[in-house]
Chains A and B, each alone.
Chain A
Amino acid sequence: MTASSILLQSDLLPEALNISFKLGPALLVIGMLGLFLTIGFVFRVADTDDMWVAGRSIGNVENGMAIGANWMSAASYLGMAASIALAGFYGLVFVVGWTTGYFILLIFLAAQLRRFGKYTAPDFVGDRFNSDTARAIAAVTTFLIGFVYAIGQAKGMALVGLYIFGNYGGLIPGLDGYQVMVVAMMVVTVGYLTLSGMLGATKNQAVQYVILILAFVVGLFVVGYTNGYSTVLPQLEYGALISQLGSEFSEPFSGSSYYLWVATTFSLIVGTCGLPHVLVRFYTVESERTARWSTVWGLFFICILYWSAPAFAAFGTDLYSQNVGATYGDPGMTGAASEVIVVLAAQLSGLPSWFVGIVAAGGIAAAIATVAGLFIAGSSAISHDIYTNIINEDATQRQQILVGRLSIVALGALTTLAALNPASSIAALVGYAFSLAGSVLFPMFFLGMWWENANRQGALAGMTTGLTLWSIPMINQIVPTYIGSVEAPLSAGLATWMPAIGSALITLPIVFVVTIAVSMATDEPSLETKRIVRQCHSPEPMGQQETAEDVVADGGEDVATDGGRAMDDAGADGGRAVDDAAAEGDRTDDATTEEER
Chain B
Amino acid sequence: MTDNTSRERDDAVTDGGRATDDAVTDGGRATDDAVTDGGRATDDAVTDGGRATNDAATDGGVASSGAAQTHNNTDYLGAEVNILNPSTPYMRDHLRIVWSGFAVWVLAVWGPVTLTNFAPGVMTQTMPILQFPLHYFLVAFGAPTSALILAFWYSRKRDALDEKYGIEHGTADVATDGGSDE
Question: A-side interface residues toward B, CB under 8 Å?
Answer: 89, 92, 95-96, 99-100, 102-104, 106-108, 111, 235-236, 239-240, 242-243, 250-253, 258, 261-262, 265, 269, 287-289, 292-293, 295-296, 299-300, 303, 306-307, 310, 450-453, 530-531, 533-546, 550-552, 554-556, 558-559, 562-566, 569
Add 5 more A-B contacts to A451-B83, A453-B82, A563-B36 (CB < 8 A).
A92-B140, A300-B148, A539-B165, A562-B36, A563-B38
Q: A551-B6, A562-B35 are in contact. Are A96 and B1 (CB under 8 A)?
A: no
Query: Looking at the complex, which one of B120, B151, B172 makes contact with A102 (CB distance below 8 Å)?
Result: B151
Across-interface contacts of A545 in B (CB, < 8 A): 2, 176, 180
Q: State in angstroms the CA–CA spacing of A303 and B180 once bound together.
A: 40
In chain B, residues 124-168, which have Cβ atoms closer than 8 Å to a Cβ of chain A? Answer: 124, 126-127, 130-133, 135-137, 139-141, 143-148, 150-152, 154-155, 158-159, 161-162, 165, 167-168
* Beta-carbon nearest neighbor of A253 in chain B: B117
Are A562 and B9 in contact (CB-based, < 8 A)?
no
Residue-wise interface mask of B (77-107) relative to A, using a CB-CB cutoff of 8 A (1 in contact, 0 not): 1111111000000110010011001100100
Report whether B151 and A537 are in contact in the complex, using a CB–CB cutoff of 8 Å: no
Where chain A touches its partner, the secondary structure class is helix
Q: Is the CB of B136 within 8 A of A546?
A: no
- The smallest beta-carbon distance between B110 and chain A, in angstroms, is 6
**Residue in B5, B79, B116, B159 whose beta carbon sits within 8 Å of that of A543 in the complex:** B5
CB-CB under 8 A for A107 and B154, given A530-B81, A566-B42: yes
CA distance in complex: A550, B137 (Å): 48
| A426 to B6 Cα, complex, angstroms | 48
Known A306-B144, A534-B77, A551-B4: A289·B151 in contact at CB below 8 Å: no
9 contacts between A and B (CB under 8 A): A92-B139, A96-B143, A252-B116, A252-B135, A299-B147, A531-B77, A534-B79, A537-B91, A565-B39
| Contacting pair A562 B109 (CB below 8 A) | no
Chain A contacts for B181, CB-based, 8 A: none
Give CA–CA (A249, B25) in the complex, Å: 64
Q: Does B173 touch A at the CB level, under 8 Å?
A: yes
Docked-complex contact A293 and B155, CB < 8 angstroms: yes
Question: B116 contacts which chain A residues (CB < 8 A)?
Answer: 252-253
Say yes or no: A542-B35 contact (C-beta < 8 A), given A99-B147, A452-B80, A530-B81. Answer: no
The answer to whether A559 touches B32, judged by C-beta atoms less than 8 angstroms apart, is yes
Q: A539-B165, A543-B2 are in contact. Are A563 and B176 (CB under 8 A)?
A: no
CA distance A195 to B101 in the complex (A): 44
Interface residues of B (CB under 8 A from A): 1-7, 9, 32, 35-40, 42-43, 71, 76-83, 90-91, 94, 97-98, 101-102, 105, 108-110, 113-114, 116-117, 120, 123-124, 126-127, 130-133, 135-137, 139-141, 143-148, 150-152, 154-155, 158-159, 161-162, 165, 167-169, 171-173, 175-177, 180
How many angstroms from the CA of A482 to the CA of B107 in the assembled complex? 39
Q: Is the CB of B2 within 8 A of A546?
A: yes
Report A451 CB to chain B, min CB distance, Å.
6
Measured CA separation A242–B131 after assembly (Å): 9
A-B pairs, top 7 by smallest CB distance, nearest first, are A541-B172, A562-B36, A543-B176, A239-B132, A538-B76, A240-B131, A239-B131
CA distance A108 to B71 in the complex (A): 21
Chain B residues near A95: list those with CB within 8 A: 139-140, 143-144
Q: Are A540 and B9 in contact (CB under 8 A)?
A: yes
Indicate if the CB atoms of A239 and B32 lie closer than 8 Å.
no
A242 near B98 (CB under 8 angstroms)?
A: no
Q: Could you tell me if A265 and B43 are in contact, using CB atoms closer than 8 angstroms? A: no
CB-CB < 8 A to B9: which residues of A?
540
Give CA–CA (A240, B126) in the complex, Å: 9
Among B36, B81, B131, max chain A CB count under 10 A is at: B81
Contact status A558-B2, CB under 8 Å: no
- Determine whether the beta carbon of A452 is less than 8 Å from that of B167: no
Q: Which of B1, B81, B90, B139 contacts A89 (CB 8 A)?
A: B139
Cα-based distance from A296 to B151 in the complex (angstroms)? 6
Chain B residues contacting A100 (CB-CB under 8 Å) are 105, 108-109, 143-144, 146-147
User: Which single member of B36, B38, B82 contacts A559 (CB below 8 Å)?
Assistant: B36
Chain B's closest residue to A286 (CB) is B173
When the two chains form the complex, which single residue of A102, A104, A289, A450 contacts B82, counting CB atoms closer than 8 Å? A450
| CB-CB nearest in chain A for B98 | A107
Q: How far is the CB of A95 from chain B (nearest CB, A)?
A: 6
A258 touches B113 (CB 8 A): yes
With contacts A89-B136, A537-B76, A564-B39 taken as known, whether A555 is within 8 angstroms of B4 at the C-beta atoms is yes
**Shortest distance from the beta carbon of A227 to any chain B beta carbon, whole Å:** 17
B117 pairs with A258, CB closer than 8 A: yes
